[in-house]
Amino acid sequence: MKIIDLSVPIKNSSSEPMKLTHTRIEHKEGALQVSKKAGISVDSFPNNEFISLDTFKLATHMGTHVDSPFHFGSKFQGEEARTIDKVPLDWFYSPGVKLDFTNFPRKKNITASDIKEVIKKEKVQINVGDIVLIWTDMDKLWGSQEYFTDGPGMSYEATNYLINLGVKVMGIDSYGFDRSFPVMLSEFKRTKDRSVLWPSHFIGRDKEYVHIERLTNLDLLPNTGFTVIALPLKLVDGDASWIRAIAVEGEK
């Protein structure tokens, strides 16, 4: 059995406009705090050290993460859209299919025709429940400003095509599933066409699916023959969740 890590590090980076803070109660400081509260001496602990305690504060959309249907819009078919804790876990443990878009132009939309062409060229089959991974190779720019600004994105039609094949989870190895914020906003200001703004996010208001953003190491995967495990945390009412996405080849 071979395990491939598909997750980028969660840390402050030029690729991440959002920031995290990390604080730590060190071992000796913890010993002082706990001994005082418990009414015992510091030397009650080995080496006068207690156990550490880290606190991370960050948005749910940093690092490799999965967006919930609620992130796309508050309602789905008249009901409150599902938050990440309510999305079925079996969606996130399924056979994977990788589609090669490494030669696709940056900052452009991937169309349904592009998806069909790659499926035909690579002779892959997408079944109901498969997790489809869009391989752009943008993860090689992780840590740079270009990673945030230059990635291609999935169009409404491309995402809709995969949903209609029965795909509930799809992912990409660039900053976002849509094109970058600056690219979309620039086009909208020029054309006033609202459909250019976050099309793959907003389709989730009409058809229930989720997508994973900021994957990595898709170049280490075959086109098929692997299982994706991308379980979200049980963040009650969360609009998204960090994941440690992995791919598994073979059997243990």
pLDDT of amino acid 19:
97
Q: Is the pLDDT of residue 252 over 60?
A: no
Handedness of CA 134, 140, 144, 150 (dihedral sign): negative
For 181-223, the pLDDT digits (tens) are 999 999 999 999 999 999 999 999 999 999 999 999 999 999 9
pTM of the model: 0.94
pLDDT at 174 over 70: yes
pLDDT tens digits for range 8-52: 999 999 999 999 999 999 999 999 999 999 999 999 999 999 999
CB 200 within 8 A of CB 155: yes
What count of other Cβ atoms lies within 10 Å of the Cβ of residue 178?
A: 27
Dmax over CA atoms of the chain, in Å, equals 71
Options 3.40.50.11540, 3.10.20.30, 3.40.50.450, 3.50.30.50; CATH for 5-9+60-249 is 3.50.30.50
Question: How far is it, in rounded angstroms, from Cα 160 to Cα 61?
Answer: 23
- Banded model confidence at residue 128, pLDDT cuts 50, 70, 90: very high
Tell me the one-letter amino acid at 183. V
Look up residue 250 and give its two tokens. 């073979």
Structure tokens given for 134:
């869009």
Average pLDDT over residues 153-163: 98
Average pLDDT over residues 81-90: 98
CA 200 to chain centre: 14
Q: Is 67 left (phi over 0), alpha (psi -120 to 50) or beta?
A: beta
Bridge partners of residue 131, in order along the sequence: 96, 169
pLDDT, residue 121, reads: 97
pLDDT, position 84: 98
Q: How many CA atoms lie within 13 A of 62 on its CB side?
A: 18
Numbered ranges of CATH 3.50.30.50 in the chain: 5-9+60-249
Average pLDDT, the chain: 97
Percent with pLDDT over 70 in the chain: 99
Under a CB-based contact definition with an 8 Å cutoff, are residues 150 and 179 in contact?
no
Tokens standing for residue 105: 């132009």
- Tell me what pLDDT residue 36 has: 95
